[in-house]
C-alpha cells in the first residue's frame, strides 16, 4: 500500500496586503508516496516525490487566517483545493507509477563485460 505525505511548509507571503500581514500567496509543495510493503535492496521503503507550487488567490481576504494560526493541515487544504481533486489524483497516480517502475523496472542498464 502506498501512503501519501504532503509537505507544505515552504510558503511565500506578501508582508503587507490590504492592511494584513504575512498574506500567503504561493505554496511550494512536496507530495511523497511511500510503499509500506516493498523495500529496496538497502531495506528502505520505495518512495517517489512530486514537487511543485500553487498560487493562491488573494483578491478576497475576508477569511484571512493569521500566519501564527496556520497549520500544515490548513495549507494542505488550500493546495488541494487550488489544484482540484482530478489533478491531485493524477499526481498520486504518477507517483504510484514511479514507485511501481522502481519495484518492477521496464528497462535496466547493463554494461558489457560484467
pLDDT digits (tens, 9 = 90+) for 11-52: 999 999 999 999 999 999 999 999 999 999 999 999 999 999
User: Tens of pLDDT along 53-95?
Assistant: 999 999 999 999 999 999 999 999 999 999 999 999 999 999 9
Considering Cα of 82, then 86, then 90, then 93, what sign does the dihedral take? positive
Determine the pLDDT at residue 113.
86
Determine the pLDDT at residue 81.
96
Listed in sequence order, the residues at least 6 apart from 60 whose beta carbon sits closer than 8 Å to its beta carbon are: none
Determine the pLDDT at residue 52.
97
Question: What pairs with residue 54 in β-bridges?
Answer: 27
- pTM, rounded to two decimals: 0.88
Amino acid at each position: 500500500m502506498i501512503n501519501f505525505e504532503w509537505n507544505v511548509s515552504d510558503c511565500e507571503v506578501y508582508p503587507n496586503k490590504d492592511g494584513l500581514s504575512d498574506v500567503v500567496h504561493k505554496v511550494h509543495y512536496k507530495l511523497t508516496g511511500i510503499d509500506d510493503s516493498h523495500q529496496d535492496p538497502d531495506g528502505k521503503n520505495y518512495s517517489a516525490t512530486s514537487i511543485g507550487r500553487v498560487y493562491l488567490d488573494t483578491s478576497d481576504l475576508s477569511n484571512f487566517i493569521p500566519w501564527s494560526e496556520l497549520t500544515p493541515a490548513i495549507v494542505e487544504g488550500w493546495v488541494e483545493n487550488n489544484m482540484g481533486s482530478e489533478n491531485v489524483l493524477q499526481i498520486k497516480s504518477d507517483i504510484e507509477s514511479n514507485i511501481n517502475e522502481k519495484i518492477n523496472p521496464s528497462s535496466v542498464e547493463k554494461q558489457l563485460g560484467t
